[in-house]
Chain A
Amino acid sequence: MLRTKLSETGRPPRFLGTASARSSRVLAAGSAAFLVVLLALLGSAAGQPTATVVWRGASHPIAVSGGDFSVGDAARALGFTVSRDTTSGVLTISGYGHQLLAGPGTVHVPVDQRTVEISRPIRAVAGVLYAPMDFFARALFPLAGASGTYDASTRVWTVEQSGGAPPGNVTPGPVSVEVAVVHVDPTTQVVMRESAPARIMPRIVESGLQIRWLDRKITAPFAERRYDDPLVSAVRFEGETATVLFREPGLTAHAYPLTDPDRIVVEVGRLVETPAIEPAAPPPAAVPAITIVLDPGHGGTETGAVGPGGVQEKDVTLQIARRLAATIPKVVSSRIVLTRDSDSAISLDDRTSLANHEKANLFLSLHANSSRAPGAHGSETYYLSLESSDRLAQEVARRENETPLDVPGAVPQNADLDFILWDLAQSAHLNESSRLAEAIQTQLNVVSKTENRGIKQAPFRVLAGATMPAVLVEVGFISHPEEEKQLRSATFQESVANAIAKAVGEFFARRRTGAPADAPTPGTTPSPAR
């Protein structure tokens, strides 16, 4: 038909043949070019080699670079939400109630409130983050309650719910248990820290207190360990049962679970005979005019610093606070209030709030120090610094402390200041706080013979809101092996308590006499008159 039609135009037939040949050549060349471009584009589309993540029956391609896998691709494959910070290149991966941050160069991957170390840094290639295999196995997949295996021959990650069962129906593994025994007179606490929560059944037996785990297998830290403790002779594990062995008859104990972290606390003490009821109530004792709040630093999940031998700051501070609570009333007639008298976590502001609520005359926060500097040792006493705070705080502090408030008849020059913000509350007492710090540091140096690191100032939160003279005493360095041994010894704790109590006595003695700020301490060389 075409031929006929073209023939009808009068054009020679060979023209038709020539056109067809050109068309074929053009088509062939075009097809070849098309194939080349197509292959190039397909190669470009692949960009890098890919692997596959198989999750819940579906396959998801993920980019691979240099043996590492695309973090974003894998996270999205598992159903996580992925957002990228354009300036830093950090990926925020959210899902399953967790959050993970992955950034270029990251080796310690922030996961929720902890970090997970991986074998080599996450790399950024053309704006895409690539991570080694253990990032996925140790950090990402567990967030989805899953574990993964990688087959290098097929380049397939097979990701499955841990234990092969859906979440909520996972067969629980054994609970690993760690044991710590701490004696704080008059009781001993045996703390069994668990890797996961578990139901227990405690019961008193002839030799001590027995704890049986009901719904979980346990991994015991040892079969039996003996302790040099006045009340507990040993802790023994047999199967899913632990026994806290009493050192002597006549002891009693009770156990209770705590969470965050999961642990079981066994408190061992002596039986106390109920006193006979007095026929008549004794006359009420006179309430001391002075109230002192003692604040044992840290507590509960906040262990504070931990020494190389495992001594925890929270335990040392509580022990010293209890000793100090018994010692101070012998020096100064006073009512002592502790911010905590057990292993419990209290916020910094709550500690100060308690002191303000009790209308305390002094606030003493007790701590044990630590430093990465191996040579750091000795004691130091802090009072609040506003150096690093804003100008308003510094100005208020300057005005508040221009006149010594403890001199009889002194009137604060800024009485027109109707209120003081919480953060500035301590600024009115900096002079007295420094005087108290000086007295404590002097006595610590004399009585406990610790290395004197002096009086210092720092913007410590626990001091900021105190509406009374307040100091933070670092009684020694728990990070220093020798001082760690000292800090756990009853003798040293007692000498520290005596030193601080003596300093408190001096402080109130000066207050009563209205001695000026630089009055010489009794028994020391007087300072030159200013």
Chain B
Amino acid sequence: MSRRAAALLLIAMVATVGGLMLLTHQPRSAPPVRRRSPLPFLRVSPATVGAVTPLPGGQAAPREAVRVTLFFPDAAQGKLHPEERDIPKPASPGAFVRVLFGELAHGPTRPELINVIPPRIQLRNGFLMPGGLVVLDLAVDSSLSFGSAEELSIVASLVNTVLQNVANTERVRILVNGEPAESLGGHLDLTRALTFVRSELAP
């Protein structure tokens, strides 16, 4: 084989390898342009003890955690009670709202409290808007039906949990299936943003 042929073959190989590398390259997301330092979004304090997730074999994952307060109704009258738990520190406000919803949907640990979010209500998305407004976009199964007490529990639990934990938030606006809605189940006014619902808290 001539030198020229060998050189051409090597060039072809390099080109092929380069092309394949280019095709299989996973583009790293570019670091966000920071025009200003982001506002802190954690209203909660870092967890003290037991903040790490134990692994099999006695090791512990060194993950930073925060202590959050969730609100669940009691089994007797349906009034809301706070329950604290430690969760891994979320990376962003949106992720924090999603994690809080997930923890509420997962249910309480105290036996006297009951689950508040029906499985057929999901969080489509959560946004933090200027002026302390949180927008929760819920996916709600059209076949769900509520009485006013249950509807109040669901909404108050969501609103209070978000406002209690996410810093710089004052009001929560709830959308249903991506759109503004009169109500979740025919009672509570969802056309306006809601503030912390004290009337549903247990005395």
Centre residue among A34, A110, A303, A382 by max chain B CB count within 10 A? A110
B198: CB under 8 A from chain A? yes
B48: CB under 8 A from chain A? no
Which of A99-107, A218-226, A321-329 is near enough to bind chain B? A99-107
Q: Which residue of B lies closest to A44 (CB)?
A: B24
State which of A302, A370, A373, A385 has its C-beta within 8 Å of the C-beta of B199.
A385
Q: Which residue of A lies closest to B176 (CB)?
A: A113
**Residues on B with beta carbons closer than 8 Å to the beta carbon of A382:** 148
- If A373-B78, A375-B76 touch, whether A302 touches B148 (CB-CB below 8 Å) is no
Please, what's the 1-or-0 string for A95-134, where 1 marks a CB less than 8 Å from any CB in chain B?
0000001010111101001110100000000000000000
Contact, CB under 8 Å: B10 / A87 = no
A213: CB under 8 A from chain B? no
Contact, CB under 8 Å: A464 / B189 = yes
Q: In whole angstroms, what is the CA distance A367 to B188 when docked?
A: 13
Please, what's the 1-or-0 string for B175-203, where 1 marks a CB less than 8 Å from any CB in chain A?
00100001101111111111111110000
Q: Which residue of A lies closest to B196 (CB)?
A: A388
A2: CB under 8 A from chain B? yes
Q: In whole angstroms, what is the CA distance A113 to B199 when docked?
A: 30
Contact, CB under 8 Å: A457 / B78 = no
Contact, CB under 8 Å: A372 / B150 = yes
Contact, CB under 8 Å: A34 / B13 = yes
**Residues on A with beta carbons closer than 8 Å to the beta carbon of B141:** 108, 113-115
State which of B1, B102, B125, B194 has its C-beta within 8 Å of the C-beta of A105.
B102
Which of A238-246, A277-285, A430-438, A473-481 is near enough to bind chain B? A473-481
Q: Which residue of A lies closest to B140 (CB)?
A: A113
**Residues on A with beta carbons closer than 8 Å to the beta carbon of B120:** 108, 114-115
**Residues on B with beta carbons closer than 8 Å to the beta carbon of A313:** 145, 147
Tell me the A152-201 residues at the B interface (CB within 8 Å): none
Interface size on B, residues (CB 8 A): 66
Contact, CB under 8 Å: B94 / A87 = yes
Contact, CB under 8 Å: A85 / B16 = no
Which of A23-31, A52-60, A71-79, A396-404 is near enough to bind chain B? A23-31
Q: In whole angstroms, what is the CA distance A79 to B23 when docked?
A: 24
**Residues on B with beta carbons closer than 8 Å to the beta carbon of A460:** 148, 187-189
Please, what's the 1-or-0 string for A357-371, where 1 marks a CB less than 8 Å from any CB in chain B?
000000000011111
Given contacts A41-B17, A115-B122, A313-B147, 15 further A-B contacts (CB under 8 A): A24-B1, A26-B6, A27-B9, A90-B125, A107-B119, A110-B139, A113-B177, A297-B186, A371-B153, A372-B114, A373-B73, A376-B76, A376-B149, A472-B187, A478-B147
What are 23 A-to-B residue pairs whose CB atoms are below 8 Å?
A23-B6, A38-B17, A42-B20, A44-B24, A88-B94, A90-B125, A107-B119, A114-B141, A114-B142, A305-B145, A348-B182, A368-B147, A369-B148, A385-B199, A388-B194, A388-B196, A390-B195, A458-B152, A458-B188, A459-B188, A459-B192, A461-B187, A472-B148
Q: List B residues at the A interface (Cβ < 8 Å).
A: 1-3, 6, 9-10, 13, 16-17, 20-21, 23-24, 73-78, 92, 94-95, 98, 102, 114-116, 119-120, 122, 124-126, 139-143, 145-150, 152-153, 159, 171, 177, 182-183, 185-199
Q: List A residues at the B interface (Cβ < 8 Å).
A: 2, 19, 23-24, 26-27, 30-31, 34, 37-38, 41-42, 44-45, 85, 87-88, 90, 101, 103, 105-108, 110, 113-115, 117, 297-298, 302-306, 313, 347-349, 367-376, 382, 385, 387-390, 423, 456-462, 464, 472, 474, 477-479
